[in-house]
């Protein structure tokens, strides 16, 4: 079982959008996947509940016992964790459970600064695991053609963690599909949004392998 945790303690970074899309992308690639909603607000569970025929299985674990609880769940090839904002104890538990931590960051100075606490927690875990834990930033909700979108990479480099080449851009299609409990991979499989999600998954799986 490989566990991908999508974490950022600042709200609005696009965690749920990325987590739901990664889970669906893995499923469409033939993988047996479970999406874990660790946010007490239950955004991923709300997303799943919109559809009666929701193909992505979602469970809620919004206690700081994620690492222990996952051991009792029927084994899946992949588990994707949608992280909770602000809750440090939930973040620590998700970090302990993870093989790969994806940190989505919006191209904003405030978002970059707000990531420092999470980076500290992650680096502590990297030391404990002797470097086995994989971690990377992904630029999320990027607006094409803006200067700050290009500058964020340089700003994030200061944290000393990898930055994925793939980006998730600001698109109307993401909230539109969320409202119907689906993904851009289902509604526009040949579109640009679906392509960027597949590129993101490809880059993560390459690092995991």
Q: Domains of the chain, with CATH numbers?
A: 2-208 (3.40.50.300)
What is the structure's pLDDT at 146? 67
The rounded distance, in Å, linking the Cα atoms of 116 and 200 is: 23
What pLDDT score was predicted for residue 153?
81
Report the pLDDT averaged over residues 143-171. 84
Write down the pLDDT at residue 148. 65
pLDDT in tens, 54-108: 999 999 998 999 999 998 887 899 999 999 887 688 889 999 999 999 999 998 8
Q: Which residue has the higher pLDDT, 23 or 13?
A: 23
Residue 113 has a pLDDT of 87
Q: Quick check: 118 pLDDT over 80?
A: yes
Share of residues in the chain with pLDDT > 90 (%): 72
Average pLDDT, integer, range 183-192: 96
pLDDT digits (tens, 9 = 90+) for 150-159: 678 888 888 9
Mean pLDDT score, 26-38: 97
Model confidence at 163: pLDDT above 90: yes
Name the pTM for this structure: 0.94
Answer whether residue 127 shows pLDDT above 70: yes
Q: Is 141 left (phi over 0), alpha (psi -120 to 50) or beta?
A: left
Q: How many CA atoms lie within 13 A of 184 on its CB side?
A: 23
> Is the pLDDT at 44 greater than 90, yes or no?
yes
Average pLDDT, the chain: 91
Here the contacts of 21-24 (C-beta below 8 Å, separation 24 or greater) are: 21/183, 21/184, 21/185, 21/197, 22/80, 22/102, 22/197, 22/200, 22/201, 22/204, 23/56, 23/78, 23/80, 24/55, 24/56, 24/183, 24/185, 24/186
* Rounded-to-integer distance, Cα 50 and Cα 14, Å: 19
Distances (CA, A) of 45 to 15, 59, 133, 198: 13, 7, 27, 23
């Amino acid at each position: 079982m490989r566990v991908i945790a999508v974490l950022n303690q600042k709200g609005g970074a696009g965690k749920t959008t990325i987590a739901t899309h990664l889970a669906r992308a893995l499923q469409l690639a033939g993988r047996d996947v479970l999406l874990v909603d660790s946010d007490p607000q239950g955004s991923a569970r709300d997303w799943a509940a919109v559809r009666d025929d929701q193909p992505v299985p979602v469970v809620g674990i919004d206690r700081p016992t994620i690492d222990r609880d996952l051991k009792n769940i029927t084994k899946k090839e992949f588990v994707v964790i949608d992280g909770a904002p602000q809750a440090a104890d939930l973040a620590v538990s998700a970090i302990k459970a993870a093989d790969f931590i994806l940190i989505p960051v919006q191209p904003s100075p405030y978002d970059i600064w707000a990531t420092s606490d999470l980076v500290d927690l992650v680096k502590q875990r990297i030391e404990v695991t002797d470097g086995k834990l994989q971690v990377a930033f992904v630029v999320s909700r990027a607006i094409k053609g803006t200067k700050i979108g290009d500058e964020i990479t340089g700003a994030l480099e200061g944290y000393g963690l990898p930055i994925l080449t793939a980006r998730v851009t600001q698109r109307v299609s993401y909230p539109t599909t969320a409202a119907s409990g689906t993904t851009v991979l289902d509604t526009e499989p040949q579109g640009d949004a679906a392509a960027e999600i597949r590129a993101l998954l490809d880059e993560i799986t390459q690092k995991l392998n």
